[in-house]
Chain A
Amino acid sequence: MLCYAVLAVPLAAAAFAGMVPWRRSVGWVTVLANGAVLGIGTVLAIETNHHRPVEALNGALRADALSAFMVVVIGTIALLAAIQAVRYLDVEIARGRSSARHASLYCVLVQLFVTCMLAAVLSASLGALWVAIEATTIATTFLVGHRRTDGALEASWKYVLICSVGIALAFLGTVFVYFAALHVPGHATGASVLDWTSLMAASHHLDPSVMRLAMALLVLGYGTKVGLAPMHSWLPDAHSQAPAPVSALMSGVLLTVAFYALLRFKVIADGALGPDYVRTLLVIVGLASLLVAASLLLTQRDYKRMLAYHSIEHMGLIALGAAAGTTLAIAAVLLHILGHGLAKAVLFLASGEILLVEGTSEIEKVPALLSRRPVLGGIFGFGLVALLGLPPFSLFVSELNMIRAELDVGLGWAAGISLALMAVIFAAVMGHGRHLLLGGAGASGKPAATPGIVAIPLVGGLIACAVFGLSAWPLQSLLYAAAHVVVK
């Protein structure tokens, strides 16, 4: 019942937005729908935390603690993005850059996009998971190009082509896993061969050499959607060209939904191969991503691209945490998924507002934001503090725990390299941030106010991020329950 509801609500909102001509209230309906997703996700989380997984549709949909956690993350970010979208669409229409028809299309596609992500985390079959993740690419392409500029068009082309190739490799990997599973005597047959629970049960009997090939393809393939090096090149373009609420969703949750797929496959492969093989793969792509992010953040001149490269960094950190693979590590990875989602969504939404009011995304041309627009500048500043992993925000706790876990399993050298690269990134982003917030000759004239529709949800997001950093209470047991799902 809960599984149906969580998919039906955003889908119904998409249908509604498609049939009713655009006006503000349609936007608020999508806000309500995403709030409902968050609410249902919370109920699912409580349910799966204390009881067994919830199944629906003859077992095709299945929510365990990990799925429920991901539903909560998706609901949270979708809610923040939907509120900001009301303002974004309003302003775009008022300035004549968008029409009511485009606004309707936007709402429909965003709600379909959210539904696809929810379907991905609720699929029991790893094949269906693939179909849902591929569908997110289709739903988001026209959202990336929604601003209809030359750059947006180029970004959408790169995005859809590179991600489709990547995800095709993930499909080949899935085919190999299926092939290995078919040759396990006594394993399930028919459609349930790719069912995650049955693959888990058979994982020790899967042929190791086929699984090695499969996992390499899966890490490369899903890694493309996660934005991990070497297949990250679409990400800075797509995330910087998309409208801010879409960037928030893509960076805040879509990346980590793809990573969720890797977590599911990782535990199966660990059963067949032992932990070392996937660990090596994840350490390589994780460190490579950090290196790419560090080298390109140093010279960044565009604040939206800066945020995009920051996503590559955080996905690299998550990959390293998952490489460690202990319960502590996975719980920290999940907390990082939530914390990064919140902080990144707040920053992208704030940057969207800066772009709306300042008209440029170049760092050079937007100095001294803190004195000219104190509230907006303050949100952006605190967001950066959160994203850089400083206390009291939850990213500090999760990064600390991931590094602890890496030391526990003998990945101290990788943790050391990652810390050095993080220091470079820290310095680079601080430099850009200082110019953006404090730089220039200082402001003349009265500071401009920031509308409540922008400020209130973003401050809320930052507070949530800080609360999860200061007190593990609301999440602790869910995080560990979810981590246990994918740790042998």
Chain B
Amino acid sequence: MRAGRELDLLQLTAGLVLACSVVTLWRRDLRALVAVLALQGGALGTLAALLAVQHGDLGLGIVAGVVFVAKGFVIPSLLARVVRRDPGSRETAPLVNVPASLVGAGALVIVSYLSAGRLTSLFPSPATRLAPLGLATVLVGFFLLVSRRKAVSQIVGLLLVDNGIALVAFLLTAGVPLLVELGASLDVLLIVVVLQVLATSMRSRFGHVDLDQLRELHD
């Protein structure tokens, strides 16, 4: 009974991570995008905590805490600072419109289930069976990256890719070694800081953060 409930929670949080990434394709309001990202980070941290309890793994517990704080709070609040300077900002003209994006997301989920067959069959367990959800999150993140033109949307796309990879890592291997995981989290945090600084200086220099209008460099 207890094991069943744990599995339910695992499925719920993993599903929530993917659902959040699909919602990012649907919402155009940049503030909503950041809020969804925070929810996804929280779900990811919770999932890691569940696995840590299940395996009785203290190291993974520490990672779960770091992920929860970094991806659920710190990174979204950094992004919120970029959005706040640009009130009412929306992704006005994505390269792929919303209905088509959602259909695309459905296709990406199917693709990841098909391609991850071997991963789950190598070591079948309730957790590894959920790994395709992580791959789908990675693919949706890619889709967002190539189809959206606002700086914030692109950062969110990058973070979706990153969260998807973290989800795969948690589900398949209960997390890579502690030091690597912490190093990776720190790197991601710093990358977001760097991107935030760049976005802010683009805003003050060009008066917008629309990457379509950057055309200085070309061949």
Contacts and interface: CB of A to CB of B under 8 A. Distances in A.
Interface string B147-181: 00001001100100110010011001100111110
Nearest to A174: B176
B118 A154 contact: no
Given A128-B183, A157-B211, A160-B191, A165 B176 contact: no
Nearest to B128: A179
A49 interface: no
Interface residues of A, number: 51
Interface of A: 125, 127-128, 130-131, 134-135, 137-138, 141-142, 145, 150-151, 153-158, 160-161, 164-165, 168, 171-172, 174-176, 178-180, 182-183, 190-191, 193-194, 207, 209-210, 213, 236-237, 240-241, 296, 299-300, 305
Given A178-B173, A179-B122, 15 more contacts: A128-B179, A128-B183, A130-B180, A131-B184, A135-B190, A137-B191, A155-B217, A160-B195, A161-B145, A164-B158, A165-B142, A175-B168, A179-B173, A191-B177, A236-B219
A interface: dominant SS: helix
A158 B216 CA distance: 12
B187 to A, nearest CB: 4
Contacts of B217: 151, 154-155, 158, 236-237, 240-241
A235 to B, nearest CB: 12
Interface of B: 115, 118-119, 122-123, 138, 142, 145, 151, 154-155, 158, 161-162, 165, 168-169, 172-173, 176-180, 183-184, 187, 190-191, 194-195, 198-199, 201-202, 205-206, 211, 214, 216-217, 219
B154 A161 contact: yes
Contact of B177 (A179, A194, A240, A241): A194
Contacts of B169: 175, 178
A301 to B, nearest CB: 9
B202 A157 contact: yes
A141 B190 CA distance: 11
A207 B122 contact: yes
B158 to A, nearest CB: 6
A417 B217 CA distance: 30
16 contacts: A128-B180, A135-B190, A137-B191, A138-B187, A142-B194, A157-B198, A160-B191, A161-B145, A174-B176, A175-B173, A176-B172, A191-B179, A207-B118, A209-B118, A210-B119, A236-B217
B176 A168 contact: no
Most chain-B CB neighbours within 10 Å: which of A134, A168, A236? A168
